[in-house]
Structure 1
């Protein structure tokens, strides 16, 4: 093996000479190395961004949107406090809280905006939602009976500010449920603004549970739904079905997979596509090694013949060219990994700088975040490096085997 490493090093040094043939072989070898470098770097950066989106989905979006909900379709759920205590004692449930959800309108002066009004219990809402982390002003946990918290985009569209009086128009339905009555107008003080990014900022309106009950004519024990947080968000649907069997009321069972599941599926689909496409790019770059080694074997037939006449074994010749191909791959993988890691660790700042430079953020108003997240996972780097080396080894086998088939008598005879 030491002899093979020495010969491989000598062959590489000889290939660097500036004659026409050697220069072309050297160019092909460098092209394959650069291809591997770019493929590895792109794959590491792309997977880091995908991991970042998935992390933000879990710790940002799913910490605010309902993970599990039980919604009464017709009559309200009674004795919500007892049911909340029962739900909190169930396996895999980390928190439970009541809510009243109704679509309505927010009005400030002459401006109107459609909103989703959610009446929440301040003392329990923090058990199932991290909305306080994204609220500027008074938090939900500090709610007063006459307070309202709106999303940033709602406040912007209404041209309002904290401290203004906002009127909510809440639809009323007749007792028989056959007709709509004039909406009830509830005037509340804007005490906080939710700034999370994405659709929540343009739809959410939080009020006190008691105020929502008064507006809809419910008593203090009635709500329209119960909300849970669970210890494993990716098993939320299974947990929702199992825990839902303990509820006596007729309810619709809903998990975040229904409202945000398409986003998660998109992230996983993009991950799969990135793996396939970039590994194909790496495969093409790796098999460029075949071209460079085949030409090099042909150029060095005389050297190989002399080595064989001196007693070099076929295994030594084979290992020589395998090591030469692997060295090309190693340089590409090492530099690609270094560049990929550096970019992955700084991609968020780089994206922000570019957005400020051009004055436009392509993520604004499209996704639930307005920055480019990144999370570097060592497992992704390991898989990338291992697969690249496997492809490089496969690419070197055929040219190295051809080198062992060189006939010293024919080569030296010519």
Structure 2
């Protein structure tokens, strides 16, 4: 093995000065380097989106909602106490959900209104971290909090009087005029995602007044669970505790497609980039075949001096693995450095182009990243495994060279 290491090193040094063989070996090394670095960066970005999904979006949207489709849920405090007895439920709060039109100075914008109990809302949502202006806990009956994009569309600012147009569900005529409620805008939701374009918050008591409900009647109960990825299972279990007829809705129905998209992208990234690495690794085959052809005389001389086939095989196998190892190490270094600086590089690019492609599209307006060392290890191990397989055939061909034929020519 020491002899194989020595010969592999000498052959590799001689290739630096050769033409086509040296170029092919460098090209295969660069291909492996690019594939490894791209895979590390891509997986880090996917991990970043998954982390932000849990930390930002799932800390704000409802994990579980129980909606009464016909009659309102009566005596909601007892129902909440019933739900909170479940071991996997962290907290539950009452709410009323309305679809309304927001009006300001002749401009109209549809919004999903959530009527909440401000003093209890922090138990099921961390939306207060993304509200500019008055805190949610201080929300009064005559006040309203809007998504930033809704306010921008209406050209409304904090302090303006906003009108809500709510359908009158108790009216006898189906096309009856909606109820009009005037509220003061006291805060803006600024998450940098779709919620900014649709969400509005108002006090629970005001919504009960609009709908003609008593203080102990609500249309929805919002629940926060301990394990967000088991939310639907927990929702079905806990829902059996309620005596009311309710629809069960978890975040999987409202935001689950986004989570599935992230997992699908992760799979596609693995597949596509590993195919790129495989192509780059099998470029080693062409460079090694050319090298075996170039070194026929050297191999013949080694064999006549008593070198075994195993020594010849190990020499060229180590040489091919060496190309892949150099490419993997360089790719790992570049990939780790880029992955740790992706958010800053993205912000710099946005500042130059003055256009953010993530603004208002996803739940974040920046490019998140999370470097996981197990991804790096899997990438390097997979690359070296593919490269090792790629070196077997050229190394085996080197052992089949006939010294008599080569030296005779």
Shorter-chain TM-score above 0.5: yes
Structure 1 counterpart SS, 2:41: helix
CA separation in 1, counterparts of 2:19 and 2:84?
Answer: 72
Displacement after TM superposition at 1:110 (Å): 2.1
Structure 2 counterpart SS, 1:192: strand
CA deviation map 1:344-377 (0-9, x unaligned) = 1111111111111111111122222211111111
CA deviation map 1:242-294 (0-9, x unaligned) = 11111111111111111111111211111111111111110000001011111
1:10 maps to 2:10: yes
1:130 maps to 2:121: no
Aligned to 1:359: 354
Structure 1 counterpart SS, 2:401: coil
CA deviation map 1:157-194 (0-9, x unaligned) = 22121122222222211267x63543222222211110
Structure 2 counterpart SS, 1:169: strand
1:38 maps to 2:55: no
CA separation in 1, counterparts of 2:119 and 2:84?
Answer: 14
Which of 178, 185, 188 does residue 183 from structure 1 map onto?
A: 178
Contact 1:149–1:191 (8 Å) recurs in 2: yes
Aligned to 2:364: 369
- Residues 343-358 of structure 1 aligned to structure 2 (within 5 Å): 343-358=338-353
Aligned to 1:273: 268
Aligned to 1:386: 381
1:237 maps to 2:215: no
Which consecutive aligned stretches of 4+ in structure 1 deviate over 6 angstroms post-superposition? none
Aligned to 2:50: 54
Instruction: Structure 1 unaligned segments of length 5 or more: list them.
Output: none
Structure 1 counterpart SS, 2:167: strand
Structure 1 counterpart SS, 2:300: helix
Contact 1:290–1:395 (8 Å) recurs in 2: yes
Displacement after TM superposition at 1:235 (Å): 1.4
Q: Which moved more, 1:309-318 or 1:36-45?
A: 309-318
CA deviation map 1:79-127 (0-9, x unaligned) = 1111112212212212211110011122223222211111101122111
CA separation in 2, counterparts of 1:2 and 1:95?
Answer: 66
Aligned to 1:323: 318
CA separation in 2, counterparts of 1:280 and 1:68?
Answer: 40
Aligned to 1:100: 96
CA separation in 2, counterparts of 1:146 and 1:340?
Answer: 53
CA separation in 1, counterparts of 2:158 and 2:341?
Answer: 35
Aligned to 1:256: 251
Structure 2 counterpart SS, 1:249: coil
CA separation in 2, counterparts of 1:25 and 1:120?
Answer: 71
Contact 1:168–1:186 (8 Å) recurs in 2: yes
The two structures have a TM-score, normalised by structure 1, of: 0.96
Aligned to 2:164: 168
CA separation in 2, counterparts of 1:179 and 1:30?
Answer: 75
Which of 106, 113, 118 does residue 110 from structure 1 map onto?
A: 106
Contact 1:174–1:180 (8 Å) recurs in 2: no
Structure 2 counterpart SS, 1:403: helix
Structure 1 counterpart SS, 2:366: coil
Displacement after TM superposition at 1:195 (Å): 0.2
Structure 1 counterpart SS, 2:241: coil
